[in-house]
Structure 1
Amino acid sequence: MERFDGRRVLITGAGSGIGQATVHRILAEGGRVVAADIDAAGLRATAERAAADGGGDRLVTAVLDISDEAAVRTGVAAAVSGLGGLDVLVNAAGILRASHTHETGLDFFNKIISVNLTGTFLMIREALPALLAGRSPVVVNFSSTSASFAHPYMAAYAASKGGIQSLTHAIASEYAKQGLRAVCVAPGSIQSGMTLDPGLPEDADPSLFGKLLPAIGKGFAGPETVAGVIAMLASQDGAFITGTEIRIDGGTHM
């Protein structure tokens, strides 16, 4: 498949997990990618695999803290310049931390909001002029099943992801007549670096989590599952999808 032949794509959170898997999927389909992450070692691993797969000549990596406004402004400008424009923005960067809500400090709460929600906003704001000048522009944001279903000990994370869904709806409406599509993926029951150890309290009550396993398959899926959906949404195959969330959880939350 070459759905991304000639498409210019910026992906955050590209040093691990779903973001990294999305880089490889887009490269495999012919896209040109700037892969950004705060983790330089993770980006090196992404680049090494891309080179091994034959797509290294269409990949540039960039260390970027999406919660830093000045860094985002500089990083997005550099990505747009290097790509010669921008057609797709995938906001996969995020952090997951858990705690009892009554023990959650303001610094803890603000950190999650600043990376997940504010960081997504900053990336969108800085990328919008280039996207609106691009070809069939798309923004793919990352929500979570925690935004719509109860995930105990994750109030800050859930709030950030709910905010991302609302942000996505707003920009999808605001820029629809200018040709922009904005969609969310809402992963759940996906095995990636962020979900392997969410840092649950030692006295966490497992009974509060209800049904934990997907209805289909034999357990959690890998990040490639989500990357495939992102590729569909960001391509012309998703041309009639905007302003909504796509839940990818194998039926865990039916």
Structure 2
Amino acid sequence: MKDIPKLGFGTYGRTGDAGIAALEKALEVGYRHLDTAQSYDTEKEVGAAVRNSGLARDDVWITTKIDMANYGPGKLAPSLEASIERLGLTPNLTLLHWPSPNGELPLEVYLDQIVEAKARGLTGEIGVSNFPIALLKSAISRAGEGQILTNQFEVNPLHNNHKLARFCQSVGVLVTCYLPIAKGRLAGEPTAEAIAARHGATVEQIALAWELAKGYAAIPTSSRADRIASNFAARDVTLSAEEISALDALPQQARAIDPDWGPDWD
């Protein structure tokens, strides 16, 4: 199976005809990685956009995520089969969207099911999302080395999650950044704005270039055609080592997504 394209397109909120149009635009400008989830209710839109694009199935990487309600014994595989039906294709990658809320289910209950789903051919690869170091260690130990392709979690220059990101890279797990452009909060940040000005770029492009330079994957999203194209053009921005270090040193903000039932973060 081919490698995951590092700059993908998130599909949260991209529902209905307008959502399909945004996804079609993303594929038109060059994105070859679409990230969806059972809880986003965008799997049908993703499938429609891929079919409408005229691209070969092998040319587009599709990631989906299992909702926590489908972690119980015997539930995961049927839920993934339903995702496949909605998508009209088998995903390249399927993630556990979060650890079980409040640790209600032991990790092995749902991790073993996703490993088995891969063995059955229901997904090409498997991974996790929002897993802190301790749970990621346990997942790797139980699933087997090389089985966990990625850990998707909140990363951007204003919330760099360096401790978790460095651990992931140390064990060969790809960091996939959600909220990679910080929901627009980089606007007006002096260091980011100065770097953007030097490159004739937007601060969003600078954030994405920073993530790509670190070897991460990133999945920005937008409903606007101009921003969809602009974000993709971040691939053309090359930051200096000094600029990367300056972005590493930005004052950090609290995570934007932090549910009460979430894990104990690093």
Q: Structures share a fold, TM > 0.5?
A: no
Which TM-score tier does this pair reach, normalised by the shorter chain?
A: 0.3 to 0.5
TM (normalized to structure 2)?
0.38
